[in-house]
Amino acid sequence: MKVIGVIPGKKESAHIIDVDKPEISSSEVRVKVLRVGICGTDHEIDQGLYGEAPEGEDFLILGHESLGIVEETGRDVKGFEKGDMVVSTVRRPCPENCLNCRSGENDMCLTGNFKERGIKSLHGFMAEYYKEIPEYLVKIPEELSDVGVLLEPLSIVEKAIMQTFKIQERMKWKPKTALVLGAGPIGLLATFVLRDMGINTYTLALDSIDSKKARLVMESGASYIDSTKEPIPELGEKLGNIDFILEATGSSTVSFQAMDILGINGVLALTGITGGDKKLEVDADRLNLSLVLGNKLIFGSVNANITYFRKGVKHMQNFEVKWPGLLSKLISRKVVFEDFKEALLRKKDDIKVIIEIGK
């Protein structure tokens, strides 16, 4: 079968490789891949900045955002059958099987020796087929076949938001105003989840008010802010007490600006992965004082375990009822398998680019 692999550490090394179709054991499932999504992490891996091949191999099959169809199940597999549409989670437990990994929360792995499909020490889903054990597979209802490939990025948002609500059990908390920084897939998906929860949401990005991203934000009932016209430091006054901020621009400068406008008892969730080594001068005394006196909380969030994928399926179903067709508009470009290099190029107006693999 054909797969798209990279040589980790080597710039723009993605190429098509012929490998054997995976054989399954009695406890595994073989999945035929329909499509995969491309995200910033895939770009970084293709640029040679990130990514590790499985032990003993010199290439890594890319891809961690997928949608596929069960092609065959091992005889001991329960709960899945041929024809089921599925998405696989990304992270797998560390060899030490730390407290969190053995408790089903490998997204909170303590050792850092976890593996991630398509990213770190495990092959991904840019392949005609992959195999997996059922505990990492999530069933996707038929009506979500066009958008199911967005479940992995949505799981990242689900984790950040569900954890925020858990953390805020420290008091009675009824968030009224949320600010989402960034209108890429994570920012837009966060906007939809917050709107689905009935929270007054503002989403900010660099694009103009008549851009496609702004339209998608507004279609969900959120307000769009063009940050070239209304810079972040001015928003504290304009929006009143900001209860929740989700940072999804991938800029550490923006993260620090966000700390400064967070409201009383507010939470700032950081999801952007910033690979550089930027230094900033910060207004340390004032920032510290406002965080302490305002009971404010800042936390980072990465990856997601299967609980968040399952929550994401429910939200996708809600989105389709509330705003039919809106979610599918996030898929801005579809590329066929042979043109994968096109998919790995960043183009203006891209939101989510996907590679069509099977039917």
Classify strands 137-139 and 85-88 as parallel, antiparallel or unpaired: antiparallel
Phi-psi region of 48 (alpha: psi -120 to 50; beta: other; left: phi over 0): left
Cβ 304 to ligand BGC, closest distance in Å? Answer: 7
Return all residues near 342 (Cβ < 8 A) that are at least 6 apart: 335
Decide whether 50 or 202 has the Cβ nearer to ligand BGC: 50
The Cα–Cα gap between 184 and 48 comes to 23
Report how far residue 204's alpha carbon sits from residue 179's, in angstroms, rounded to the nearest whole number. 8
Cα-Cα-Cα-Cα dihedral sign, residues 263, 264, 270, 276: positive
Nearer to ligand BGC, 41 or 177 (CB): 41
Residue 354 beta carbon to ligand BGC: minimum distance, rounded to whole angstroms: 15
Amino acid at 286: R
Q: How far is the CB of 50 from ligand BGC (least distance, A)?
A: 7
Q: Which two tokens stand for residue 101?
A: 């990994």
Nearest residue (CB) to ligand BGC, 62 versus 259: 62
Tell me whether residue 115 or residue 195 sits nearer to ligand BGC (CB atom).
115
Residue 250 or 263 with smaller CB distance to ligand BGC: 250
Q: Which is nearer to ligand BGC, 116 or 243 (CB)?
A: 116
Q: Which is nearer to ligand BGC, 39 or 355 (CB)?
A: 39
| Residues of this chain that bind ligand BGC (CB under 6 A) | 39, 41, 64, 90-91, 116, 119, 152, 156, 302-303
Please give the radius of gyration of the chain, using alpha carbons only, rounded to the nearest integer. Answer: 20
Q: Which ranges of the chain does DSSP label H, i.e. alpha helix? A: 40-46, 99-102, 151-167, 185-196, 212-219, 235-239, 252-261, 284-293, 306-322, 340-343
Ordered strands of the 200-205 beta sheet: 223-226, 200-205, 177-181, 244-247, 267-270, 297-300
User: At its nearest, how many Å lie between ligand BGC and the CB of residue 108?
Assistant: 11
Nearer to ligand BGC, 63 or 263 (CB): 63
Query: 20-46: string of b/e by CB count within 10 Å (b at 16+)?
Result: eebebeeebbbbbbbbbbbbbbbeebb
CB of 156 to ligand BGC, least distance (A): 5
CA angle 275, 154, 72 (to 5 degrees): 105
Least Å distance, CB 41 to ligand BGC, is 3
Nearest distance, CB of residue 303 and ligand BGC, angstroms: 3
Measure the CA–CA gap between 206 and 218, rounded to whole angstroms: 15
Q: Which residues does 313 contact at the CB level (< 8 Å), separation at least 6?
A: 138, 139, 140, 141, 144, 151
Shortest distance (Å) from residue 224 CB to ligand BGC? 25
Alpha-carbon distance of 101 to 110, in angstroms, equals 8
Closest distance between ligand BGC and the C-beta of residue 196, in Å?
21
d(C-alpha 120, C-alpha 91), whole Å: 9
- Of 41 and 257, nearer to ligand BGC (C-beta) is 41
